[in-house]
Amino acid sequence: MKKPLAVLIILSLPILAFSQRPNADKAIPESVLSLNQGIYMNIEEFLTNSPSIQYYFEVHNYLSDYYIHPEERNEYVLSFHDDMGYRKILGAREIWGYCDGESVFVSFQGKPYELVHLGAISVVRYHQHYHRTTIAQILSLYALGHTVVSMERTQDLLFHLGTDSVIIPTSRNIRRLISDDAELYSDYQHERNMDYFERNLVYLQKYNEKYPLVINETGIFVAEPPSNNDLVEKQPL
Protein backbone atom coordinates (compact mmCIF):
# COMPACT_ATOMS: atom_id res chain seq x y z
CA MET A 1 0.00 0.00 0.00
CA LYS A 2 1.25 3.45 -0.85
CA LYS A 3 2.16 5.57 2.13
CA PRO A 4 0.24 8.86 2.44
CA LEU A 5 2.07 11.80 0.98
CA ALA A 6 1.97 14.99 3.01
CA VAL A 7 1.94 17.76 0.46
CA LEU A 8 3.06 21.14 1.67
CA ILE A 9 1.63 23.89 -0.50
CA ILE A 10 3.53 27.18 -0.68
CA LEU A 11 1.76 30.27 -1.98
CA SER A 12 4.19 32.29 -4.08
CA LEU A 13 4.13 36.08 -4.03
CA PRO A 14 2.91 36.74 -7.61
CA ILE A 15 -0.28 34.69 -7.36
CA LEU A 16 -2.54 37.50 -6.22
CA ALA A 17 -1.10 40.01 -8.65
CA PHE A 18 -3.35 38.61 -11.40
CA SER A 19 -0.34 37.40 -13.35
CA GLN A 20 -0.18 34.40 -15.65
CA ARG A 21 2.62 31.86 -15.58
CA PRO A 22 2.19 29.78 -18.76
CA ASN A 23 4.81 27.20 -17.77
CA ALA A 24 3.71 26.80 -14.16
CA ASP A 25 3.58 23.32 -12.68
CA LYS A 26 0.25 21.59 -12.29
CA ALA A 27 -1.65 22.26 -9.08
CA ILE A 28 -1.81 18.48 -8.51
CA PRO A 29 1.20 16.73 -10.11
CA GLU A 30 0.43 13.33 -11.63
CA SER A 31 3.23 11.84 -9.54
CA VAL A 32 1.23 12.78 -6.42
CA LEU A 33 -2.28 11.89 -7.60
CA SER A 34 -3.57 10.70 -10.96
CA LEU A 35 -6.79 12.65 -11.45
CA ASN A 36 -9.85 10.88 -12.80
CA GLN A 37 -11.47 12.77 -15.66
CA GLY A 38 -15.10 13.65 -15.11
CA ILE A 39 -17.67 16.07 -13.70
CA TYR A 40 -17.89 16.81 -9.98
CA MET A 41 -21.31 17.51 -8.48
CA ASN A 42 -19.89 18.49 -5.08
CA ILE A 43 -16.55 19.08 -3.34
CA GLU A 44 -16.48 15.59 -1.82
CA GLU A 45 -16.21 14.08 -5.29
CA PHE A 46 -13.19 16.29 -5.94
CA LEU A 47 -11.53 15.53 -2.60
CA THR A 48 -12.00 11.77 -3.08
CA ASN A 49 -11.00 11.90 -6.76
CA SER A 50 -14.29 10.24 -7.70
CA PRO A 51 -16.35 12.36 -10.13
CA SER A 52 -19.88 10.96 -10.32
CA ILE A 53 -20.11 11.64 -14.07
CA GLN A 54 -17.16 9.96 -15.78
CA TYR A 55 -18.39 9.98 -19.37
CA TYR A 56 -16.39 11.77 -22.03
CA PHE A 57 -17.66 15.35 -22.02
CA GLU A 58 -17.17 18.55 -23.97
CA VAL A 59 -17.12 22.13 -22.72
CA HIS A 60 -19.10 24.72 -24.70
CA ASN A 61 -19.09 28.47 -24.22
CA TYR A 62 -22.63 29.66 -23.75
CA LEU A 63 -24.39 32.92 -22.93
CA SER A 64 -28.12 32.89 -22.32
CA ASP A 65 -30.18 36.03 -22.77
CA TYR A 66 -29.25 37.87 -19.59
CA TYR A 67 -32.07 40.38 -19.91
CA ILE A 68 -34.76 37.67 -20.19
CA HIS A 69 -33.36 35.10 -17.73
CA PRO A 70 -30.63 36.76 -15.62
CA GLU A 71 -30.94 34.14 -12.87
CA GLU A 72 -30.21 31.32 -15.32
CA ARG A 73 -27.12 32.80 -16.90
CA ASN A 74 -24.31 30.31 -17.52
CA GLU A 75 -21.11 31.17 -19.32
CA TYR A 76 -20.47 27.56 -20.30
CA VAL A 77 -22.20 24.20 -20.43
CA LEU A 78 -20.94 20.61 -20.46
CA SER A 79 -22.37 17.97 -22.78
CA PHE A 80 -21.96 14.19 -22.71
CA HIS A 81 -23.73 11.02 -23.83
CA ASP A 82 -24.99 8.57 -21.20
CA ASP A 83 -25.04 4.76 -21.39
CA MET A 84 -28.22 4.86 -23.46
CA GLY A 85 -26.68 7.22 -25.98
CA TYR A 86 -28.78 10.20 -24.94
CA ARG A 87 -27.07 13.58 -25.04
CA LYS A 88 -27.12 15.32 -21.68
CA ILE A 89 -26.31 18.96 -20.98
CA LEU A 90 -25.35 20.46 -17.62
CA GLY A 91 -25.07 24.19 -16.99
CA ALA A 92 -22.16 25.71 -15.10
CA ARG A 93 -24.36 26.46 -12.10
CA GLU A 94 -25.55 22.86 -11.85
CA ILE A 95 -22.14 21.38 -11.12
CA TRP A 96 -19.30 21.90 -8.63
CA GLY A 97 -16.58 21.59 -11.25
CA TYR A 98 -14.83 19.21 -13.58
CA CYS A 99 -11.49 17.62 -14.46
CA ASP A 100 -10.37 17.39 -18.07
CA GLY A 101 -7.77 14.78 -17.20
CA GLU A 102 -5.03 17.31 -16.53
CA SER A 103 -6.47 20.28 -14.66
CA VAL A 104 -9.32 20.83 -12.21
CA PHE A 105 -11.84 23.62 -12.82
CA VAL A 106 -14.14 24.99 -10.11
CA SER A 107 -17.44 26.42 -11.30
CA PHE A 108 -18.09 29.82 -9.76
CA GLN A 109 -20.73 32.32 -10.88
CA GLY A 110 -21.11 30.55 -14.20
CA LYS A 111 -17.39 30.60 -14.99
CA PRO A 112 -14.74 27.84 -14.96
CA TYR A 113 -11.92 28.77 -12.56
CA GLU A 114 -8.81 26.64 -12.98
CA LEU A 115 -7.20 25.36 -9.80
CA VAL A 116 -3.64 26.72 -10.08
CA HIS A 117 -2.39 26.37 -6.49
CA LEU A 118 -3.66 23.68 -4.12
CA GLY A 119 -3.57 24.17 -0.36
CA ALA A 120 -5.82 24.61 2.66
CA ILE A 121 -6.31 28.02 1.06
CA SER A 122 -6.04 27.43 -2.67
CA VAL A 123 -5.94 29.74 -5.67
CA VAL A 124 -8.27 29.47 -8.65
CA ARG A 125 -7.91 31.41 -11.88
CA TYR A 126 -10.38 32.43 -14.57
CA HIS A 127 -9.05 32.89 -18.11
CA GLN A 128 -11.26 35.12 -20.20
CA HIS A 129 -10.64 35.20 -23.93
CA TYR A 130 -12.43 38.01 -25.71
CA HIS A 131 -12.29 40.25 -28.76
CA ARG A 132 -12.36 43.98 -28.98
CA THR A 133 -15.88 45.33 -28.92
CA THR A 134 -17.60 46.39 -32.11
CA ILE A 135 -17.47 50.07 -31.14
CA ALA A 136 -13.75 49.90 -30.39
CA GLN A 137 -13.19 48.17 -33.70
CA ILE A 138 -15.16 50.77 -35.66
CA LEU A 139 -13.33 53.66 -34.00
CA SER A 140 -9.98 52.15 -34.98
CA LEU A 141 -10.81 51.01 -38.51
CA TYR A 142 -8.67 53.60 -40.24
CA ALA A 143 -5.80 53.34 -37.79
CA LEU A 144 -5.56 49.58 -37.29
CA GLY A 145 -7.49 48.08 -40.19
CA HIS A 146 -10.25 45.49 -39.92
CA THR A 147 -8.43 42.95 -37.76
CA VAL A 148 -10.20 42.01 -34.52
CA VAL A 149 -7.60 41.74 -31.77
CA SER A 150 -7.91 38.72 -29.48
CA MET A 151 -7.06 39.43 -25.87
CA GLU A 152 -6.94 37.54 -22.59
CA ARG A 153 -7.31 38.64 -19.02
CA THR A 154 -7.20 36.58 -15.87
CA GLN A 155 -8.69 36.84 -12.41
CA ASP A 156 -7.30 35.06 -9.36
CA LEU A 157 -9.50 34.21 -6.38
CA LEU A 158 -8.91 32.29 -3.16
CA PHE A 159 -10.64 28.99 -2.50
CA HIS A 160 -11.01 27.64 1.04
CA LEU A 161 -11.10 23.84 1.02
CA GLY A 162 -12.55 23.54 4.51
CA THR A 163 -15.62 25.67 3.83
CA ASP A 164 -15.92 25.05 0.08
CA SER A 165 -16.02 28.79 -0.58
CA VAL A 166 -14.53 31.09 -3.23
CA ILE A 167 -13.24 34.35 -1.78
CA ILE A 168 -12.13 37.66 -3.29
CA PRO A 169 -8.54 38.27 -2.02
CA THR A 170 -9.05 41.53 -0.16
CA SER A 171 -7.15 42.31 3.04
CA ARG A 172 -10.36 42.06 5.04
CA ASN A 173 -11.19 38.63 3.63
CA ILE A 174 -7.65 37.36 4.17
CA ARG A 175 -7.82 38.46 7.81
CA ARG A 176 -11.05 36.51 8.18
CA LEU A 177 -9.50 33.43 6.61
CA ILE A 178 -6.59 33.24 9.04
CA SER A 179 -8.58 34.41 12.08
CA ASP A 180 -9.64 30.83 12.85
CA ASP A 181 -6.06 30.27 14.03
CA ALA A 182 -5.71 32.52 17.09
CA GLU A 183 -1.92 32.29 17.31
CA LEU A 184 -1.35 33.04 13.64
CA TYR A 185 -3.93 35.83 13.63
CA SER A 186 -2.27 37.46 16.66
CA ASP A 187 1.10 37.42 14.89
CA TYR A 188 -0.57 38.91 11.81
CA GLN A 189 -2.11 41.74 13.83
CA HIS A 190 1.19 42.62 15.53
CA GLU A 191 3.32 42.46 12.37
CA ARG A 192 4.67 45.95 11.67
CA ASN A 193 7.66 45.29 9.40
CA MET A 194 5.72 44.58 6.20
CA ASP A 195 3.28 46.52 4.06
CA TYR A 196 -0.25 45.13 3.92
CA PHE A 197 0.23 43.39 0.56
CA GLU A 198 3.36 41.52 1.58
CA ARG A 199 1.88 40.69 4.97
CA ASN A 200 -1.21 39.15 3.39
CA LEU A 201 0.84 36.91 1.13
CA VAL A 202 3.28 35.88 3.84
CA TYR A 203 0.51 34.91 6.25
CA LEU A 204 -1.41 32.99 3.62
CA GLN A 205 1.80 31.05 3.12
CA LYS A 206 2.21 30.56 6.89
CA TYR A 207 -1.38 29.29 7.11
CA ASN A 208 -0.80 26.68 4.41
CA GLU A 209 2.47 25.64 6.03
CA LYS A 210 0.68 25.12 9.33
CA TYR A 211 -2.20 23.22 7.72
CA PRO A 212 -0.58 21.08 5.00
CA LEU A 213 -2.57 18.78 2.76
CA VAL A 214 -2.33 15.02 2.94
CA ILE A 215 -2.90 13.27 -0.39
CA ASN A 216 -3.15 9.50 -0.66
CA GLU A 217 -5.18 6.84 -2.47
CA THR A 218 -8.30 7.80 -0.50
CA GLY A 219 -8.20 11.44 -1.49
CA ILE A 220 -7.21 14.91 -0.28
CA PHE A 221 -7.67 16.30 3.20
CA VAL A 222 -6.24 19.06 5.39
CA ALA A 223 -3.95 17.82 8.16
CA GLU A 224 -4.24 19.17 11.68
CA PRO A 225 -1.18 21.05 12.97
CA PRO A 226 0.95 19.10 15.45
CA SER A 227 0.01 19.48 19.10
CA ASN A 228 2.47 20.61 21.74
CA ASN A 229 2.85 16.99 22.88
CA ASP A 230 3.86 15.96 19.38
CA LEU A 231 6.52 18.65 19.25
CA VAL A 232 8.19 17.58 22.51
CA GLU A 233 10.74 14.83 22.13
CA LYS A 234 9.80 11.99 24.43
CA GLN A 235 12.46 10.92 26.91
CA PRO A 236 13.12 7.21 27.52
CA LEU A 237 11.77 5.87 30.83
Could you tell me if residue 28 is inside a domain? no
Residue count of the chain: 237
How far is the C-alpha of 108 from the C-alpha of 51, rounded, in Å? 18
Domain count, the chain: 1
Query: Do residues 92 and 110 lie in contact, with contact meaning Cβ atoms separated by under 8 Å?
Result: yes
Walk across the sheet containing 213-216 and list its strands.
5-7, 213-216, 219-222
Residue 228 lies in a domain: no
Cβ atoms 57, 80 nearer than 8 A: yes
56 in a structural domain: yes
pLDDT tens, per residue, the chain with 237 residues: 444 444 444 444 334 433 334 335 688 888 888 999 999 999 999 999 999 999 999 998 865 444 445 544 557 899 999 999 999 999 999 999 999 989 999 999 989 999 999 999 999 999 876 544 444 444 444 444 445 455 567 899 999 999 999 999 999 999 999 998 999 999 999 998 888 889 999 999 999 999 999 998 888 988 876 554 444 444 444
Q: Which domain holds residue 104?
A: 5-10+33-223
**Half-sphere exposure (CA, 13 Å, Cβ side) for 197?**
6
Is residue 209 in a domain?
yes
Note the pTM of the prediction, 2 decimals.
0.75
200 within some domain: yes
Question: Quick one: which of 98, 97, 99 has its CA closest to 109?
Answer: 97
How far apart CA 44 and CA 10 sit, in angstroms, is 23
